[in-house]
Amino acid sequence: MAAVLELIAGSYEQIAFGYRIKTDQKEWTTEADFTHHAHTASISAAAASERFIATGSKDETIQLYDMKKRTEHGALLHHDGTITCLEFYGTSHLLSGGEDGLICVWSRKKWQCLKSIKAHQGHVTSLSVHPSGKLALSVGTDKTLRTWNLTNGRSAFIKNIKQNAHIVRWSPAGDKYVAVVNDRVNIYDLETASVIGTVTNPKRISSIKFLNNSVLAVAGDDEFVRICDLGKEKWVCEFKAHETRVKAIDSFMMEDYCVLVTASNDGFIKMWKLHLKEELESPTLLGEVNTTARLTCLAVWRPSSVQETAEEPAAAATTSKELIKELSKMKRVRIAAEEVILEDESKPKKKKKGGGK
């Protein structure tokens, strides 16, 4: 039986595209499913949950599209400035970051802004939610990497990284994370909160994606995608993916192989078959679609792959110490507080305005 999959891409032309993937043939094909023109400026971020697509834009709004009803679902209004990053956690929450320095936590139940966190002095450039759902990382233009306690919306730690990172990602197991500064990927260990390795890409990095806990796909300001073994700190594979620079990458697992999805300024979205084995070989092209637009961001909608999570967090940890203690029980990991600076927990800011239907 063919998998239910859809490619979602945002563009400079203000349009979000949805393409249904047909996986029942050797060569995969795509079928245009929808175009969503709800923004009034270029789209800067996209994310997918099992039910909704969220897109963020330079028009300062987050637009929602209901994949079940195939209709627009309204806008989320809270940020003052470009939406720079979006990430769903399971079926219950959406996190957004913006040029206003805010991280907003939205409940999917009524699309309320549950928390509005003044995260950075400057822009929030990237955020990532820990697999447990209890911590988030963010980086911004204030040269800091911050850890957030999502149970109370307060800062757990702040680390001065001396440069502006523009991407941060947890590994799938949650035992390490990476932060990208220009052309460099710094690998951090959760136990020590310190850099345990670095790999350098030939060009400035535009997008990264963990394919498994130790293999990272990296796209930069050229037409190549490079794959890195983080344990060995070396590049193990590279291939020419597009005719112009690769803007965004994503991936998902099929039965016994990984599918890497790439999107480029040339308008193409391509799907690549990659076997994650000891000796990585160059991936083979499964299929492609020409959107004829200048693409900016990418997401894969795959309802069956989304983890189910409760609407409310099971634990009611209120302090960073309690949170870390609980997380260490769950994940058998610990965060060494001596490696980072504990930030004063300030009073939460008042909400501005909510949104959504």
Q: Is the pLDDT of residue 343 over 50?
A: no
> Mean pLDDT lowest for which of 38-42, 93-97, 299-303, 338-342?
338-342
Q: What is the pLDDT of residues 166-222, one digit of tens each?
A: 999 999 999 999 999 999 999 999 888 899 999 999 999 999 999 999 999 999 999
Q: What burial class does residue 346 get, using C-beta atoms within 10 Å of its C-beta: 0-12 exposed, 13-18 middle, 19+ buried?
A: exposed
d(CA 13, CA 178): 31
In the DSSP assignment, the letter for residue 133 is: S
> Mean pLDDT lowest for which of 31-45, 133-147, 323-337?
323-337
Q: Specify the higher pLDDT residue, 320 or 155.
A: 155
Q: What is the pLDDT of residues 154-168, one digit of tens each?
A: 888 899 999 999 999
DSSP one-letter string for 34-90: EEE---SS-EEEEEE-SSEEEEEETTS-EEEEETTTTEEEEEE---SS-EEEEEEET
> How much is the pLDDT for 322?
54
Q: Is the pLDDT of residue 324 over 90?
A: no
Q: Is the pLDDT of residue 236 over 60?
A: yes
The confidence band for 2, taking pLDDT boundaries of 50, 70 and 90, is low
> How much is the pLDDT for 317?
39
What mean pLDDT is reported for the chain? 86
> How much is the pLDDT for 310?
31
| Beta carbons of 163 and 183 less than 8 angstroms apart | no
> How much is the pLDDT for 323?
52
Closest by CA position to 56, among listed 102, 14, 107, 4: 14
Backbone angles phi, psi at 244, to 5 degrees: -125, -175
pTM: predicted TM-score of the whole model, two decimal places? 0.85
